[in-house]
Structure 1
Amino acid sequence: MRIKELAEARVRYGYRRLHVLLQREGWHVNHKRTYRLYSEEGLSIRTRNPRRRRACRYRSGRSEADALNDVWAMDFMSDKLFDGRPFRILTIVDCHTREALATVARTNFRAYQVVEELDRIARSRGKPRSIRVDNGPEFAGRLLDQWAYLNKVELDFSRPGKPTDNAFIEAFNSRLRQECLNTSWFLSMADARHRINDWRIDYNEERPHSALGNLTPSAFAAQLKPARKVA
């Protein structure tokens, strides 16, 4: 049962990686037994989907966001300054309250900078139970995996080519693109950070959200008790 739970959360992990996760959790089992159970449960993943057939399918099933800090979603966006210089934006949202927890703009991102931002948010509101991410190098690397393991946070990876697996962050990114990035002319990185953060504050505190009964994300969150306490 635990192998199936881990496989559903980490859809691109083979039995070897799942075996490592089991060992971390204290399961005293050798890799041969892990492989036998992995095969018997039909958890193997083919690297290519067959055409015109349904013989191959990805594992399904994931946790729902039922409370504040239950599930976060995280992604990257790209844009350019007025002179064509590119920059990236790290976006993080709470899937239950729809709060925009971060919209951090940098010329480039490293894995340790993603971890630093997660630590900053966790200090003010607590840690999430799960974070939905794609398979980008900043998210699939060892540093974030180590942070998640030490903080008892589950990393829920999207299936390749399936943006709907992380629909909350995709919807948020679309609003950020339409309402801020496409309507702004950024003169510098400082200007981009200022404008994007102002939009985030307005999104949280002023913009009504139809999925929340037209409350703002901040007003909706204020009605809830935190699902996890600040460490």
Structure 2
Amino acid sequence: MPVSDEEITEWLMEFIAGEGAAYGYRKLTVLLKRRHKLVINKKKVYRLCKRMNVLRPQRKLKNKHPRRLVNNRLITGSNQLWETDIKYGWIAGEHRFFFIMSIIDVFDRAIISYHLGLTCEAKHLVQITQEALMKRQLFGKPMEEKPFIRSDNGPQFISNLFENACDDFQLIHERIPPRTPNKNAHIESFHSILEAECYQRHEFETYPQVYEIVSQFIKDYNQQRIHGSIYDLSPYEYIEALKNNLVQPKHIKV
């Protein structure tokens, strides 16, 4: 299956963050071939790097939002830690990719908000973050009542647009080290479920079909799909059971 430019872009950002900014587009091409077995030429990598504004000397510019690395912590309730990431899928009938960007609550496993579309940009991340805060009735609350939001180093997540939005929302954003998806394990687990129980069961012909099927899957995931780690309840059932003191909260070390 072909690999999208967005996926390649995320790999490039991880190389740059983890390997040091001295690598030019030629060496980045070598890394893509060695580590991800891509058949790709350096001209395409050059174009992607140019679009990302990471060609030297631009790569030497310091980001005004320095990276905040993840910390180990104990999660004892909802809205303490959210994770976000992007997954792409393929529309066979239209020969193009679609993207889903989701925010999951690590404690209760609910997908709080998501963007599903043919593009996936920083502005969409800002939108679903604001939507998540509003859904959890946290918008406008002080920072100490809001969750940390954790991501990898993809271009949407390191963008000034998102970092400025986090400042406006009084939300602390932390990023995992390159090549450590286990630090974002809960959203990665959801994407594995989405792949196995939704994408692999359908050959999508049109984007409207994608939107209908994937949206319904997320609704069922939140309301009906049971999780062994939360008493064989769905995320929404677990939240309700906690409210009614029917179960004890399961603390999570991350």
- What TM-score, normalized by structure 2, do the two folds share? 0.63
Residue in 1 that maps onto 2:158: 140
| Residues 202-228 of structure 1: per-residue CA shift (max 9 Å, x gap) | 111111110001111001112446xxx
1:100 corresponds, among 111, 114, 133, to 111
1:112 corresponds, among 123, 126, 144, to 123
1:76 partner letter: I
Aligned-residue RMSD, C-alpha: 2.6
1:68 partner letter: S
For the 8 Å contact 1:103–1:196, the answer to whether it is kept is no
Work out the CA distance in 2 between the residues paired with 1:60 and 1:74. 13
Work out the CA distance in 2 between the residues paired with 1:221 and 1:89. 24
1:86 corresponds, among 97, 105, 114, to 97
Work out the CA distance in 1 between the residues paired with 2:81 and 2:192. 20
| Residues 1-26 of structure 1: per-residue CA shift (max 9 Å, x gap) | xxxxxxxxxx98xxx979977xxxxx
- Greater CA drift, 154-163 or 83-92: 83-92
Q: The residue matched to 1:135 in structure 2 has which SS? A: coil
Identity of aligned residues (%): 23
Work out the CA distance in 1 between the residues paired with 2:132 and 2:70. 29
Residue in 2 that maps onto 1:55: none
- What TM-score, normalized by structure 1, do the two folds share? 0.69
Residue in 2 that maps onto 1:74: 84
Moved over 3 A (4+): 16-21
Q: Does 1:206 align with 2:221?
A: no
Equivalenced residues, count? 176
For the 8 Å contact 2:113–2:129, the answer to whether it is kept is no
Matches within 5 A, 1:49-60: none
| Residues 44-86 of structure 1: per-residue CA shift (max 9 Å, x gap) | xxxxxxxxxxxxxxx7733333211111110000111123211
Q: The residue matched to 1:138 in structure 2 has which SS? A: coil
Residue in 2 that maps onto 1:158: 176
Gap regions ≥5 residues in structure 1: 1-10, 22-58, 226-231
